[in-house]
């Protein structure tokens, strides 16, 4: 079970992905990134973070693992949406464009996950105000 402080930190850390994405690429896909980031954080990140408490991992390892897995899931779901909307017609003849899209999305999800994980770790490692 997550404490109130961990839940607040998780919500704040999940908000870093849309902010960084908006600063890097503009505000066109900000809402889509926000929805996917929060869904990944709640569906995968929070349960993984809570379950890793049992194994007594360090706070940094728990934060980074949960956020990177959630970031890769978010990137994978966005790539799946793009490939469903625009299916590659000649994947067998030239798989390079599709594979490069998957590689770029994986790198994007990994980097946003690392940013969110570092934010989560920093928020939980320091006391902010009077949060219990």
The two structure tokens encoding residue 115: 């940013």
Say what the pLDDT of residue 17 is.
83
Summarised one tens digit per residue, pLDDT across range 47-78 is 999 888 877 678 888 888 899 999 898 888 88
Q: Is the pLDDT of residue 130 over 70?
A: no
- pLDDT tier at 22 (50, 70, 90 boundaries)? confident
- Residue 21 makes CB contacts below 8 A (sequence gap 6+) with 29, 30, 33, 112
Look at residues 73, 75, 67, 69 and name the one whose alpha carbon lies nearest to residue 12. 67
Residue 93 and residue 2 in contact, taking contact as beta carbons nearer than 8 Å: no
| C-alpha pair distances (Å), 52 with each of 4, 7, 73 | 17, 15, 18
Say what the pLDDT of residue 95 is.
82
Say what the pLDDT of residue 52 is.
86
Say what the pLDDT of residue 54 is.
79
Domain boundaries, the chain: 4-125
Summarised one tens digit per residue, pLDDT across range 92-103 is 677 888 888 889
């Amino acid at each position: 079970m997550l404490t109130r402080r961990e839940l607040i930190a998780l919500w704040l850390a999940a908000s870093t992905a849309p902010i960084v994405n908006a600063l890097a690429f503009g505000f066109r896909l900000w809402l889509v990134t926000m929805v996917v980031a929060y869904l990944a954080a709640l569906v995968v990140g929070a349960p993984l973070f809570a379950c890793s408490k049992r194994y007594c991992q360090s706070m940094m390892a728990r934060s980074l693992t949960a956020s990177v897995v959630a970031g890769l899931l978010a990137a994978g779901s966005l790539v799946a949406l793009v490939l469903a909307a625009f299916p590659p017609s000649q994947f067998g003849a030239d798989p390079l464009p599709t594979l490069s899209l998957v590689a770029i999305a994986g790198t994007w999800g990994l980097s946003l996950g690392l940013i969110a994980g570092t934010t989560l770790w920093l928020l939980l490692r320091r006391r902010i105000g009077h949060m219990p």
